[in-house]
């Protein structure tokens, strides 16, 4: 095993975050500074949004900008040069970026939380990746039934076919979910760290929206995964059972993954809707209707529609951020959430995305015939809103029913990973 690194490692860096050794260190960056860096990238990302969609993946120049700004390492442990910001940063920072490009924000949220997740693994797994490259991107395939693991001497043999592996093309690693079974009985839910050379990327990402995420499928066959690179997700349900607890003391890492994991993506919906509102306001301020020569900004119906969209977006943001603050506070108090406390944020995040989609739909209809043109920004925003809402974690029927069942005392089978 590599020699352990000192907790709170301090590295002398310049203002851009580069150390004398060439390794970027962002451990001194605050939340406000990170948000400012995200806000500063918005004009560039807006210019690249259409090209990103056409490329069906993140553009290299965008990834470079994100690396240089540290905005892929904002919840990575400071031990490895990350910012280690509070959990709410997983909503705030992607929400800023999504004002320009929802696909970029989605990938940033994914890559960021995978840094957070890697901190849960054994120290050797963290050293395997971050000793050589603290900037390393990690994609994922999160559906456990899509992968199967067999216990062997020293680890597991992994096979499967996972779809929706966002940001997979530029990522040298992947976290692939699998069920460990004994016959028909499920023994464990594993998240396996696999290097890029051990799986195949399937170019099947031809979609309605969120094209720039490059969320292609991946396949693996009989890949050996050392035991230290396989995390039991039963130890990531909250608390300090996870192997990385021995080196990371921050309560940030004791927040339950199944409870709060989808919050890293809700910022893409919030910022996407905010981008629609900003674009609509800009256009309405200048536009007259084609047939009546009236200034749209003087129409009460337009004013009310903009106000309602803004209220929905603000409500979604407040709901998601409140979930994060409650989860962080519970973690700091070593409070293990009850079942109803675990289901509440899962309900809330789905409702927040629904609010954002309603806001986008309202603004898109306000665009009239202009809203069907490719060059009109809200056309892409509309498609992205409906595409991202398809994520299972945002499915209102699926995420509302468990909370309703438990609060009423009805039968509810609790998932093992919750």
| Res. 289 pLDDT band, cuts 50 70 90 | low
Look at residue 397 and tell me whether its pLDDT is greater than 60: yes
Look at residue 369 and tell me whether its pLDDT is greater than 60: yes
Share of the chain above pLDDT 90, in %: 87
Are the C-beta atoms of residues 173 and 139 closer than 8 Å to each other?
Answer: yes
pLDDT of residue 20: 40
End-to-end Cα, the chain, rounded Å: 32
Residue 340 CA: distances (Å) to CA of 69, 393, 401, 403, 414: 38, 17, 12, 7, 11
Q: Which CATH architecture has domain 138-233?
A: Beta Barrel (2.40)
Rounded to an integer, the average pLDDT of 352-365 is 97
Q: Which of 107, 83, 82, 84 is nearest to 94 (CA)?
A: 107
- Tell me the average pLDDT of the chain: 93
pLDDT of residue 291: 55
Look at residue 201 and tell me whether its pLDDT is greater than 90: yes
Look at residue 126 and tell me whether its pLDDT is greater than 60: yes
pLDDT of residue 288: 61
Look at residue 202 and tell me whether its pLDDT is greater than 60: yes
H or E stretch covering 160: strand 155-165
> Looking at domain 257-407, does it have CATH number 1.10.260.40?
no
| Domain(s) of CATH 2.40.110.10: residues in the chain | 138-233
Are the C-beta atoms of residues 353 and 389 closer than 8 Å to each other?
Answer: yes
Q: Are strands 230-232 and 185-195 parallel, antiparallel or unpaired?
A: antiparallel
Compute the Cα dihedral for 295, 300, 301, 306 and give only its sign: positive
| Domain(s) of CATH 1.20.140.10: residues in the chain | 257-407
| Domain(s) of CATH 1.10.540.10: residues in the chain | 31-130
Rounded to an integer, the average pLDDT of 154-161 is 98
The total of other beta-carbon atoms located within 10 Å of residue 327's CB is 27
pLDDT of residue 293: 64
Q: Name the more confident of 160 and 9.
A: 160
Look at residue 5 and tell me whether its pLDDT is greater than 50: no
Q: By mean pLDDT, which of 288-292, 308-312, 358-362, 371-375 is the weakest?
A: 288-292
H or E stretch covering 117: helix 102-118
Phi first, then psi: give them for residue 217, nearest 5 degrees: -90, 160
pLDDT of residue 17: 54
147 vs 161: CA distance, rounded Å: 7
Rounded to an integer, the average pLDDT of 100-114 is 98
Rounded to an integer, the average pLDDT of 293-321 is 93
Rounded to an integer, the average pLDDT of 364-374 is 85
| Cα dihedral: 300, 304, 305, 311 (round 10) | 160
pLDDT of residue 375: 81
Output the six-digit token pair for 3.
Answer: 């020699």
| Res. 1 pLDDT band, cuts 50 70 90 | very low
pLDDT of residue 9: 35
Output the six-digit token pair for 307.
Answer: 């106000």
Rounded to an integer, the average pLDDT of 49-69 is 98
Length of the chain: 418
Rounded to an integer, the average pLDDT of 145-156 is 98
Q: Model pTM?
A: 0.94
408 vs 412: CA distance, rounded Å: 10
H or E stretch covering 230: strand 230-232
Full DSSP string of 185-209: EEEEEEEEEEEGGGSEEE-----SS
Look at residue 19 and tell me whether its pLDDT is greater than 70: no
pLDDT of residue 295: 81
Output the six-digit token pair for 114.
Answer: 């995978």
258 vs 236: CA distance, rounded Å: 8
DSSP 161: E
pLDDT of residue 73: 98
pLDDT of residue 8: 34
The CATH H-level superfamily of 31-130 is Acyl-CoA dehydrogenase/oxidase, N-terminal domain (1.10.540.10)
């Amino acid at each position: 095993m590599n020699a352990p690194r000192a907790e709170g490692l301090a590295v002398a860096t310049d203002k851009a975050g580069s150390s004398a050794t060439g390794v970027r260190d962002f451990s001194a960056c605050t939340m406000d500074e990170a948000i400012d860096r995200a806000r500063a990238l918005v004009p560039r990302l807006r210019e690249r949004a259409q090209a990103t969609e056409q490329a069906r993946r993140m553009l290299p120049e965008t990834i470079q900008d994100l690396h240089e700004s540290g905005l892929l390492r904002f919840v990575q442990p400071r031990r490895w040069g990350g910012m280690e910001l509070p959990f709410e940063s997983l909503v705030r920072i992607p929400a800023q970026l999504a004002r320009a490009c929802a696909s970029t924000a989605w990938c940033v949220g994914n890559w960021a939380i995978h840094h957070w997740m890697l901190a849960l693994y054994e120290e050797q797994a963290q050293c395997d990746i971050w000793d050589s490259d603290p900037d390393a991107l990690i994609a994922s395939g999160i559906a456990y039934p899509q992968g199967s693991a067999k216990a062997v001497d020293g680890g597991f043999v992994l096979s499967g076919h996972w779809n929706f592996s966002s940001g997979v093309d530029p990522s040298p690693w992947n976290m692939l979910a699998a069920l460990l079974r004994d016959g028909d009985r499920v023994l464990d839910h594993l998240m396996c760290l696999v290097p890029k050379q051990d799986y195949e990327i399937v170019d099947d990402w031809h979609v309605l929206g969120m094209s720039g995420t490059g969320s292609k499928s991946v396949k693996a066959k009989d890949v050996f995964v050392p035991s230290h690179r396989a995390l039991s997700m039963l130890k990531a349900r909250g608390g300090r059972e996870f192997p990385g607890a021995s080196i990371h003391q921050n309560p940030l890492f004791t927040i339950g993954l199944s409870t709060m994991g989808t919050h890293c993506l809700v910022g893409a919906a919030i910022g996407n809707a905010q981008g629609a509102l900003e674009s609509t306001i800009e256009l309405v301020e200048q536009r007259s209707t084609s047939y009546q020569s009236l200034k749209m900004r003087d129409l009460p119906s337009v004013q009310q529609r903009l106000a309602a969209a803004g209220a929905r977006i603000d409500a979604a943001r407040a709901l998601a951020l409140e979930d994060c603050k409650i989860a962080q506070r519970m973690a700091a108090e070593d409070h293990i959430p009850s079942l109803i406390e675990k289901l509440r944020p899962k309900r809330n995040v789905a409702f927040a995305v629904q609010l954002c989609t309603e806001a986008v739909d309202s603004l898109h209809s306000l665009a009239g015939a202009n809203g069907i043109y490719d060059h009109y920004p809200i056309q892409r925003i509309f498609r992205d809103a409906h595409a991202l809402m398809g994520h299972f974690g945002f499915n209102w029927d699926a995420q509302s029913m468990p909370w309703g069942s438990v609060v009423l005392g009805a039968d509810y089978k609790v998932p093992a990973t919750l």
